[in-house]
């Protein structure tokens, strides 16, 4: 809890593939909102993977 400065529970955190904290919220989150935020992170990660592979060619 100290590492991410959590104030208590429930606390929701989203961490990207590089281990960076992308979102932190004290309290609950609606399922649809959380799902949309996770999809956004997955798209960002996929886009970054494609651009790094394209840069290596």
Note the pLDDT tens digit of each residue in 5-16: 888 888 888 988
Residue 25 sits in which domain range? 11-56
**For residue 14, which of 36, 37, 30 has the smallest C-alpha distance?**
37
For residue 56, the model assigns a pLDDT of 59
Residue 46 lies in a domain: yes
Residue 4 lies in a domain: no
Evaluate whether residue 33 is within a structural domain: yes
In a domain, 5, yes or no: no
On whether residue 45 sits in a domain, the answer given is yes
Out of 6-15, 18-27, 47-56, pick the least confident. Answer: 47-56
Does residue 3 sit within a domain? no
The span from the CA of 13 to the CA of 20, in Å, is: 10
pLDDT beyond 80 at 51: no
- Kindly tell me if the per-residue pLDDT of 53 is higher than 70: no
Query: Cβ distance 38 to 16 under 8 Å?
Result: no
Q: How far apart are CA 4 and CA 22, in angstroms?
A: 11
**Mean local confidence (pLDDT), 10-23:** 88
Longest dimension (CA), the chain: 47
Give the count of domains, the chain. Answer: 1
Q: Is the predicted pLDDT of residue 33 greater than 60, yes or no?
A: yes
């Amino acid at each position: 809890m100290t590492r991410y400065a959590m104030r208590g529970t429930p606390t929701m955190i989203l961490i990207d593939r590089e281990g960076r904290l992308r979102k932190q919220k004290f309290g609950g989150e609606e399922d649809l909102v959380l799902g949309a935020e996770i999809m956004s992170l997955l798209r960002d990660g996929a886009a970054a993977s494609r651009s790094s592979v394209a840069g290596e060619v």
